């Protein structure tokens, strides 16, 4: 199954670098990464408007369990590459998570997790 993960900005600020996804590129399941915003660009989080897309990761998985493991071990450990406009917004912030657990738009995945959250469309 192929999954496309759109990483959303968690708070307002300025993008600090263009290399924040490079550590993920080394994973053999990753087939594509892209940066939607570049270093120095101003970005919006979800506080007052729709959040900006910071980047995208596409990867291949044999099972939903493998996908969840990838999300928890790789995506959730990424450092947000945004210098916050307001320091208070960035305390313990991770990528904006539409379902409060995973950093991608609900229309791009199908996921069943033990906490009962289910996704939307399938990208198989």
Is 116 part of any domain? no
**DSSP secondary structure string for all residues of 73-106:** HTGGGPPP-EEESSHHHHTT--SB-TTSS-SS-G
In a domain, 123, yes or no: no
Q: Is the dihedral of CA 74, 11, 43, 3 positive or negative?
A: positive
Domain count, the chain: 1
pLDDT confidence of residue 94: 65
Q: What is the pLDDT of residues 7-35, one digit of tens each?
A: 889 899 999 999 999 988 899 999 999 99
120 pLDDT exceeds 60? no
Residue 88 pLDDT: 82
Spatial CB neighbours of 102, under 8 Å, sequence gap ≥ 6 = 71, 75, 109, 111
68 pLDDT higher than 90: no
25-34, 62-71, 79-88, 108-117, range with greatest mean pLDDT: 25-34
- Give the residue, 94 or 27, on which the prediction is more confident: 27
Q: Range of 23's domain? A: 2-108
């Amino acid at each position: 199954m192929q999954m496309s993960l759109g990483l959303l900005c968690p708070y307002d600020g300025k993008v600090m670098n263009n290399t924040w996804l490079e550590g993920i590129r080394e994973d053999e399941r990753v087939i594509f990464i892209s940066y939607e915003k570049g270093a120095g660009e101003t970005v919006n989080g979800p506080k007052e408007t729709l959040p900006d897309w910071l980047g995208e990761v596409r990867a291949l998985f044999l099972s939903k369990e493998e996908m969840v493991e990838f999300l928890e071990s790789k995506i959730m450990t990424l450092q947000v590459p945004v210098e916050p406009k307001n320091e208070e917004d960035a305390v313990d912030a991770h990528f904006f998570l539409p379902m409060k657990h995973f950093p991608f738009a609900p229309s791009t995945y199908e996921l069943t997790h033990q906490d009962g959250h289910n996704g939307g469309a399938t990208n198989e």
